[in-house]
Amino acid sequence: MHEMSIATAVVEQVDAAAREHGAFAVERVRLQVGELAGVVPSALDFCFELACSGTLLEGAVLETEAVPARARCTPCGVEWAVGMPPDLGCPQCAGARVELLAGRELQILGVQWAERPAGALADQEG
């Protein structure tokens, strides 16, 4: 299941960034996932929760933004939604020289750090 390796990589990157920025914890991670990235969202959610255990992301919410697959025919320039299963033949000229414009994305869009509780600094020092 490659969703576990994806979740682990996301958690490692975000955890390292959180520590570098002195974050107390992470509340939310926004991830962009293309329709053709081969990721099963429910499996990714499950794996993300497991991968977060024992890190600054423990309890964080994973929000995924789906990116529809789009293609453009190189000869005639028409663009279309590729869909699932992928249809990479041009609907206008039936050409096979196609450029995939979107749908393979897999990237972190944003991270929401948790605010440090009001008494946390005093508790650490005191």
Q: Which pLDDT score, from 0 to 100, does residue 124 have?
A: 44
Average pLDDT of the chain, as a whole number? 89
41-98, pLDDT tens digit by residue? 999 999 999 999 999 999 999 999 999 999 999 999 999 999 877 877 888 998 889 9
What pLDDT band is residue 117 in, cutting at 50, 70 and 90? low
- Does residue 78 sit within a domain? no
Whole-angstrom distance, CA of residue 36 vs CA of residue 40: 10
The string of DSSP codes covering 14-63 is: HHHHHHHTT-S-EEEEEEEEETTS---HHHHHHHHHHHHTTSTTTTPEEE
Question: Residue 55: is it exposed, middle or buried by C-beta count within 10 angstroms (0-12/13-18/19+)?
Answer: middle
Measured CA angle at 34 (ends 53, 70), to 5 deg: 175
- Does residue 90 sit within a domain? no
| pTM confidence score | 0.80
Domain hosting residue 36, numbered range: 2-69+102-116
- Alpha carbons within 13 angstroms on the beta-carbon side of residue 81 total 5
CATH number of residue 13's parent domain: 3.30.2320.50
How many distinct structural domains can be found in the chain? 1
